[in-house]
Structure 1
Amino acid sequence: AEWLTKAFHAAETLDPDNSVTKVVSFKRLPTTTKDAAGGAGPKAIITVEYAKPDDGLHTELFVKMPWAVEGTKEMGGDIVWRMETSAKGDIEFQECAIYRFLGPIFPFKTPRYYFADICRPNTNYILITECVKFGRKGQESSEPYECLPLAEKYLDFQLEPRLRHEMYYALVRAQARLAAWDQLGFFDPVPGEFRGAYMTAPPLGTFQWPTQMAEKARESRKRGSKRMAEILTDFVGDTAKKCYHPDLTGKAFLSALAECVEEAGAFQEDIRMYFSMFPGYIGLQHPNLNADNAYFWRNADGELDCGLIDWGGASPQNCLSVLTGSITGAEGEVLAAHDALLLKCFKEEYLRECGIDMDLHEMERQWHLTLVLYLLYLAMHVEQDIRRLVKPEEWKSITSLMDARCMSHWTVRCYSHMIRLALRYLHIRWVQGGKKKLHIHDTFSEWKDFWVKQGLT
C-alpha cells in the first residue's frame, strides 16, 4: 500500500492528501491454458482501499509486467517472447506513454492510467491501470452500458451469433475515428516518439517508386517465399491435418494457397512500400485490435460500442495494412460475408470524422494485398512458435485445436486458430471464384502486372 501511494503520487493520479491504505487482494491471472490473459507478459488484478474513497478512483486495478527471462511459463517466464517484445523495439514504453498522454483524449473509452515506469538498462517495466469489469463468463444478458463478457481471442464461435459480426463493426469504427483524429492533428501535442512515430513507414516522396530490385535479390526472395509456402501448407496438410476441416487440407486448395504465397511473397517489401503511396490512408492505429483487446457494451438503444486496451505497437500506419490484426479474428464465414461491408463502414466513419473520402476499390485492393502479407506472417510463426512449442510427434495425436497441448501455449493457440480462420475465409472465396486462384492472388497479379509496366522489377 505504501509503494502504491508513492507511485500514484509520483504519477499525480492520486491527490497528495489521499493514500492507498490497504491491498485487499492480489490475483495473478493465468499465463497458460485456455484462460490465459494474453501473451504480452504476466498480469494481475489488485484490489485496494483508499484513505479517502472517491467515485473517481478505481479500487480494482490491472497490473501488467514483462515476461521474466527465466522460470516456467506458469510462473511468468518466457525468454523468447521477452526478447521479442523488450529487445526488438520500444513497444512497452510506448504503451505506457499512450495510456498516460493519449488515453484521456482518445475518441473512445480506454482504461484510466494510474502508474507506469520502465528501467532502460534491463527493460523491466510495470503498468497499472483501471481494471475493466467484464461481464461474467456465460452471462446471457446485460444492462445498458454494462460491459459484456470478454470475447476470447479467436474463439468467436462461443459467442451469440449477432455479436460475432457486430463486434468488428464497433472495432472498425473505433479505428477509423482514431486515424481521422490523427489526420486532423488532435494528437500532435504529444511527442511523436510517444505515438510510435519511429515505427511509421517512410512518407511519400522519400523513396523510389516503383521499386527496382536486382534480379539476384528478387530470386532470393522468391526462394524464401517458396519455403514459407512449404512450411504453411505442410503444417495444414500434414503435421496438423487432423485439426483442420477437410475443405482446408485438400490438395487443390493447398496448391492454390502455395502458389499465392510463393509468387506474392517475393514482393512483400514492395507491397509495404506501396501502402505509403496513400498519405490520406495513414493515421494512428491499434495494430492488435482483436476482440479480446476491447471491451463492449450496448447503449440504451441496443447498439454496440467499445473501448480499447493493450496499446503496444500503436503507431501511424496505413489503415488497411493493420486489418489483419483485427477483423481476421472473425470466423471465416463471418468475414466472407462482411469484409466488404466492414471496409465500407471504415470509409464512412473516416469521412464523417475527418472529411477524407477513401476509394472503396482501392481499399479492397490494399485489404487483399495485406492478406498476402498475413499468410507469410502465419508461415513464419508456424516455424518460430508452433513447431518450437508443440513438436511434430505430439501433433500426431492431436485431433483438435482445442486440445490442451495447443491451448496451453498462448502463441500456439493464437497462430493455429489464425490459420484456421484465414483459410476458411480464403476457401469460401476460392470456391465462389470457381476453384482457380485465390481471390487475393488475382488481386496481387493485377497489381503486379500494372506496376511492372511502370518499371517495377
Structure 2
Amino acid sequence: MNDDGWARGDYLGLDMPAHADALRAGGATFLTEAFRRSGALTADARVAAVTELREFRGGSTGRKALLSVDYSGADGLPTDLFVKFSRDFDDAARDVGRTQMEFEVRFALLSRMAGFPIAVPRCLFADYHAPSGTGVLITERIPYGANGIEAHYDKCMDYTMPDPVGHYEALLGALGRLAGTHKAGRLPAELVEQFPVDMQRLSVGERAPYTAEQLQRRVDRLADFAVAHPTLLPDDLRDPKFVARLRNEVTAFPESEATIWRHLAGDPDYVALCHWNANVDNAWFWRRPDGHLECGLLDWGCVGQMNLAMVLWGAMCSAETEMWNQHFDALLDGFLAAFRSAGGPALEAATVKRHLLLYVAVMGLAWLLDVPSYLLKLLPEPVPDRFDARIADNEQARSRLLMMTNFLNLWSRNDMLGVLRGI
C-alpha cells in the first residue's frame, strides 16, 4: 500500500482506496473506472458525481461508509451504496481482522454470476490486496424499512420479530439453496476453487484449547452464575444435577477436538459453500406479491466450504431457545429440502444433527463457557430477567447469554458423550 492510502487489487488489478479519505480523493473518477472494471458500468457510462460520502464505525473489523452517487448513461444501477473497508487505521485491535475480507471479496465477485441462487447485495466493486490485507467492497445499500423490505432485526432479539418461525424458514431456505447449488456443480468451478475446505479458519478467534481442568473451572463459574442470577437461566440448566453432569462430561472433549474436526470434514456430501454467521441481523426480508416471505443475506466475511452443521448453528445460535426445542426438526427438514431442490444430494437429518452437536460442543467449550465470568463482572446485582435493559440494550450481554443458553440447552437434551463415542 502506498503513502496515499491506495493498494493494487489482486483480482481486478486496479488501485483501490484503503480508507474513506482516499475514496473521497478518488471520487467519481475512481468509481467510474472501478465499476467499469467490475462490469457494473459499460464503457460509455460513468459515475457523474459523488453526492454523499459519510464514514461510520460498525461491526467488529474495518471502517464503513455510506456512499451515494449520480450516473451518466447508466440505468438501473443503485445510487445509494454501502462501502466496507478491511482496514481501521485508528484501532489496531479492529485492524487485526482485516484478512477476513479476502474471502468476502471472492464471494462478492462470485455472486455477480447470472442466476445466482439467493439474494445478496449487488456488488459494484470488490478487490483485495493480500500482502497488506487491504480490501474494499462496494455494494448496493439495503433500504431496511422501505420499498417493501422489512425493518432490520437485531441479533438475539427475536422476541421483537413478527412470525419468527416464518423468518427462520425463509433464512434456512436461502442457505439450503446456496449450499445445494454448490453441491450440484452449478457455481463456476474456477471461483469455487478459491474457497478451499478449511473449517477451522471459520472461527471467532484463535487461542490454545482449554484443558479439562480449565473447562471444569469454567463450569464451576457457571454454577456460581446460576446461584447469583437465578432468573437468567432456565430451571433445568440451573439444576445442580445438570451442572455436575456437564462438569464431568467436558473432560472428554479437549483430547478429541482434532478428531471432531476431521469427522466434520470427512464426508464431502455434508460440506458446502455457505454463510457461517447468518444471524437474522445479517439478513433482510420481504414478501412476494403472493405473500411468500423471502430472505437475502449480507456480511459474508466468514464464507467458505463448511460442514452444514456450522451453517445451521451460525443461523440459529441467536434464536430463542424455544425455537430450538419446538421447531428445529421442522426447520432442519425445510433446510434439507431446499438443499435437495437446488441439486444437492439427499442427506440424513440424523447425521446432520450429530454433526451439529459435535460442532456446538467444540465452539461452546471454546468460547461460551467464558460467558458466566463476563456476566458476573457486568452484573454485580441480580436483574429481574434477560429483558432487563442492562442486558437487552447491551448486544454483547444479550448475545452471549442467549448463545450460551442455547449451547447448554442442546447439551442438556442430548447424549453428548454418546455422540462423541460414535465418531
Q: TM-score, normalised by structure 1?
A: 0.74
Amino acid in the other structure paired with 1:282: V
Match of 2:359 in 1: 370
* CA displacement at 1:69 relative to structure 2: 4.7
* 2:105 alignment partner, one of 96, 99, 104: 96
Q: 1:183-202: CA deviations, max 9, x gaps?
A: 122224334453x2152589
Partner amino acid for 2:34? A
Question: Partners in 1 of 2:234 and 2:418 — Cα distance?
Answer: 30
Distance across 1 between alignment mates of 2:413 and 2:238: 18
Give 1:126's match in structure 2, choosing from 128, 136, 155: 136
* Structure 1 Cα separation of the partners of residues 136 and 311 of structure 2: 27
Does 2:6 match 1:21?
no
Which residue of structure 2 aligns with residue 82 of structure 1? 95
The amino acid across from 1:98 in the alignment is: F
Match of 1:213 in 2: none
Is the counterpart of residue 57 in structure 1 residue 77 in structure 2? yes
1:351 Cα deviation (Å)? 2.4
Pick one of 278, 281, 292 that aligns with 2:270: 281
1:91-240 equivalences under 5 Å are 91-104=100-113, 105-135=115-145, 146-160=148-162, 162=163, 164-192=164-192, 194=194, 196-197=195-196, 199-200=198-199, 221-230=211-220, 233=222, 236-237=225-226
For the pair 1:43 / 2:64, whether they are aligned, the reply is yes
- Assess, with a 3 A threshold, how the Cα gap between structure 1 residues 411 and 266 changes in structure 2: closer, same or farther: farther
Greater CA drift, 361-370 or 257-266: 257-266
Matches within 5 A, 1:293-308: 293-308=282-297
2:379 pairs with 1:395: yes
What amino acid does structure 2 have at the position aligned with 1:97? R
**8 Å CA contact 2:357, 2:419 repeated in 1:** no
Amino acid at match of 2:190: V
CA 1:411–1:124: 2 relative to 1, 3 Å: farther
Distance, in Å, in 1 between the alignment partners of 2:108 and 2:70 is: 23
Task: Return closer, same or farther for 1:449/1:120 CA change in 2, 3 Å cut-off.
Answer: closer
| Cα distance in 2, alignment partners of residues 127 and 371 from structure 1 | 31
**RMSD value, Cα:** 3.3
From 423, 432, 439, give the equivalent of 2:413: 439
In the alignment, the residues of structure 2 paired with residue 297 and residue 263 of structure 1 have an alpha-carbon distance, to the nearest angstrom, of: 45
- Helix, strand or coil at the partner of 1:306: strand
Instruction: Decide whether aligned partners of structure 1 residues 103 and 53 sit closer, same or farther in structure 2, where only a CA change above 3 A counts.
Output: closer
Q: Against the structure 1 CA distance between its residues 296 and 405, is the aligned structure 2 distance closer, same or farther, given a 3 Å change threshold? A: same
Partner of 2:17: none
How far is the alpha carbon of 1:98 from its aligned partner?
0.8
- 1:416 is matched with 401
Cα deviation for residue 335 of structure 1 reads 1.7
Q: Does 1:68 align with 2:88?
A: yes
The Cα shift of 1:303 comes to 1.6
Shift of 1:329: 2.0
Question: What is the CA distance between 1:46 and its match in structure 2?
Answer: 1.6
Q: Is the 8 A contact 2:310 2:359 kept in 1?
A: yes
SS class of match (1:126): strand
Counterpart Cα distance in 2 of 1:235 and 1:52: 66
CA distance in 1, matches of 2:234, 2:77: 49
Matching residue's letter, 1:134: Y
Separation of aligned partners in 2, 1:244 and 1:201: 30
1:394 and 1:364 mapped to 2: Cα distance?
A: 34
- Deviation readout 1:250-281 (Å, 9 max, x if unpaired): 43443344444343454232222222232211
Q: Which moved more, 1:264-273 or 1:165-174?
A: 264-273
TM-aligned CA distance change 1:64 to 1:412, over 3 Å:
farther
Alpha-carbon displacement from aligned partner over 1:343-369 (angstroms, at most 9, x marks no partner): 211222222322522122222222222
SS at match of 1:322: helix
Equivalent position SS for 1:190: helix
% identical aligned pairs: 26
For structure 1, the 5+ residue unaligned runs are 32-37, 71-76, 137-142, 203-217, 427-436, 452-457
Question: In structure 2, do the counterparts of structure 1 residues 413 and 193 end up closer, same or farther at CA, with 3 Å as the change threshold?
Answer: farther
